[in-house]
Amino acid sequence: MELSESVQRGLQSLGDQTVLDRCSFPVVVDACFRSLLFSRGDPAVLDLPELKHLDKILLKQIHAAATTFILEAVKHNADKSTISFSLEELTFNTERVETFYTTRRKVSNSIFGPPFSFFFMSSSIGRGPAHIKDVSWRLQYQMKNGQLDKVNEPFYLISLSTETGGASEDVDFSCTAEQLQDLVGKLKDAAKSVEKASQV
């Protein structure tokens, strides 16, 4: 996990005992996590009574660095050892690293299950194809049509109910038995390739 110079400087100030004393450190860390998850767009996240004595510019710098670090950690799916290694390199002592980590866990626990909230936040960026939620089908039998007097062929009417980004949509189509067989074969192939891809 590479960190830019400004982030490093901000985190160093966060870990510096002379800048933040033992009381204000957890408050700042908590504020950083909270600002990412709960108080979106609230400019008053850092206006806390415990932090009145701090220089506002420095506080904002620390906040920017810490939030960036948290997001980078989420992006890299960093585990505890990576996070603590990075923080220790930036002159954090073990106690502060521990505080950082427990705050992370505490904050994320309070909404969903364990670290899903951060996971959620980062994975909500991107795009994906529609998911198939359900299928309904009907078998019809065509006896004749305008051109032919005798057709006598069965065909399937299939309706896939899909979902993209919370919005549902139905995909309807009709196919003959062979086409359906073909589709099923293709789907099986796809499933098999996914399975193969998971065994690299």
Partner 1 sequence: MMEEVDRILIHALRQVGTEVDEDVDSIRQFTSELLVEGVVRCIRVIDPGLGGGLAPSLPPGMSARFRVGMSLAQACQDVGYKGEIGYQTFLYSSEPEIRSLLMFLVEKLPRESAEASAQPSGKSAVLQRAIAAAIRAQLDLAWVPPNCSLPLHCETQSGGVLNSFYTQPLSSPHCTKGSEENLKEVKEYRRDVLPPVTAQFSSSASMVASLLEQHAAELSAAQEWDGEWKSQGLLSRLTPQEYRSRKLARLQKRIQEQLRSAAQPSSESAFGVSRPASDLMDVLQSFRASAPTEHVLKKGTHFTHTQKFTFTQEAAAAAAVTPILSAQESSGDVQLRQQEELSALQAQFQQLCSDVDHLAADMRRTAVTHAQVLDELKQRELGNTEKEEKLQVKKKTIDLLPEADNNVIQLQSLVEASAKRVVNLASQWEKRRAPLIDEHRRLKEICSRQDLDSSRKLSEIKSLHEKIHVSTEEAKKKEETYKQLLTELESLPQDASRSAYTQRILEIVSNIKKQKEEITKILSDTRELQKEINSLTGKLDRTFAVTDELVFKDAKKDESVRKSYKYLAALHENCNQLIQTIEDTGTILREIRDLEEQIETENGNKTVANLERILDDFKAIRQENAALAAKVKEG
- In the beta sheet, which residues pair with residue 175? 156
Number of residues binding to partner 1, judged by CB under 8 A: 57
Pattern 13-52, partner 1, x by CB under 8 A: ----------------------xx--xxxxx-xx------
Q: Residue 121 CA to chain centroid, in angstroms?
A: 4
Non-local (6+) Cβ contacts of 155 within 8 A are 139, 140, 141, 142, 174, 175, 176, 177
Report how far residue 83's alpha carbon sits from residue 68's, in angstroms, rounded to the nearest whole number: 13
Shortest distance in whole angstroms from residue 175 CB to partner 1: 24
Pattern 131-170, partner 1, x by CB under 8 A: x-xx----------------------------xxxx----
Q: Which of 48, 51, 68, 175 binds partner 1 (CB under 8 A)?
A: 68
* Angle at alpha carbon of residue 69, lines to 44 and 38, rounded to 5°: 35
Q: How many residues does the chain have?
A: 200
CA distance to 92, 117, 179, per residue, from 174 (Å) = 64, 41, 9
Q: Which residue has the tokens 């585990």?
A: 79
- In the beta sheet, which residues pair with residue 155? 140, 176
Q: Which of 19, 51, 54, 64 binds partner 1 (CB under 8 A)?
A: 64
| N-to-C CA span, the chain | 25
Does 178 sit near partner 1 (CB under 8 A)?
no
Nearest to partner 1 of 97, 117 (CB atom)? 117
Nearest to partner 1 of 7, 107 (CB atom)? 7
Shortest distance in whole angstroms from residue 150 CB to partner 1: 43
Binding site for partner 1 (CB under 8 A): 2-7, 9-10, 35-36, 39-43, 45-46, 55-57, 60-61, 63-65, 67-68, 71-72, 75, 112-113, 116, 119-128, 130-131, 133-134, 163-166, 194-195, 197-200
